[in-house]
Amino acid sequence: MARYILFYKPYGVLSQFTPEPGSTHGTLKDYLDIPGIYPAGRLDHDSEGLLLLTDDGALQHRLTAPRFGHPRTYWVQVEGVPGEEALERLRRGVEIEGVRTKPAEVRMLDEEPELPAREPPIRYRKSVPTRWLEMTLREGRNRQVRRMTAAVGHPTLRLVRCAIGELGIGGLRPGEWRELAGEEVRFARSYEVSH
């Protein structure tokens, strides 16, 4: 029987089980001792949030192959207060290394999301306001969210993936994990055949 694990990856942890030579970053091995599972996708060491791990090779392929374009939602703390023009550019797509990103769903959050404090905390500057955006992408290019917000003049300060499709991070804290249950398993497996 296949296993499906939702893990809240903390800041500073690599999305892999094997350490990088010379790296001081933690790995998934520090949090998960479940043989045969692998991440279906990745988050950079300086990003936090939801990772799905599984031993289901077909699902892993579907969730990582760019052509399938499943939605991933992020809460993004940016420097400054983006205006409607910047938000619209993010929605339409911005050019990164000569290639335009696919259209994204982007909205400004009215309030800061309820998240555990990050260790180490982001650098606070009294003179520079920040805002939180919610961004849903259907592609996963290298450091894409950070590069997109920088391209419109609002560098990313904190990045948390809060959902993969309908699977959310609710109820987990950094370093915690749980197995998918009931409808969640059916939802995850639906990516194997329908997307």
Catalytic residues: 44
* CB of 12 closer than 8 Å to CB of 46: yes
Q: Burial code of 104-121, b = ≥16 C-beta within 10 A, e = fewer?
A: bebeeeeeeeebeebeee
**For residue 57, what is the DSSP state?**
H
Q: What's the rounded Cα separation, in Å, for the pair 132 and 76?
A: 5
Residues 6+ positions from 180 with CB-CB distance below 8 Å = 4, 5, 6, 167, 188
Q: What's the rounded Cα separation, in Å, for the pair 107 and 184?
A: 26
Of 39, 28, 99, nearest to 72 by C-alpha is 39
* CB of 101 closer than 8 Å to CB of 89: no
* CB of 106 closer than 8 Å to CB of 133: yes
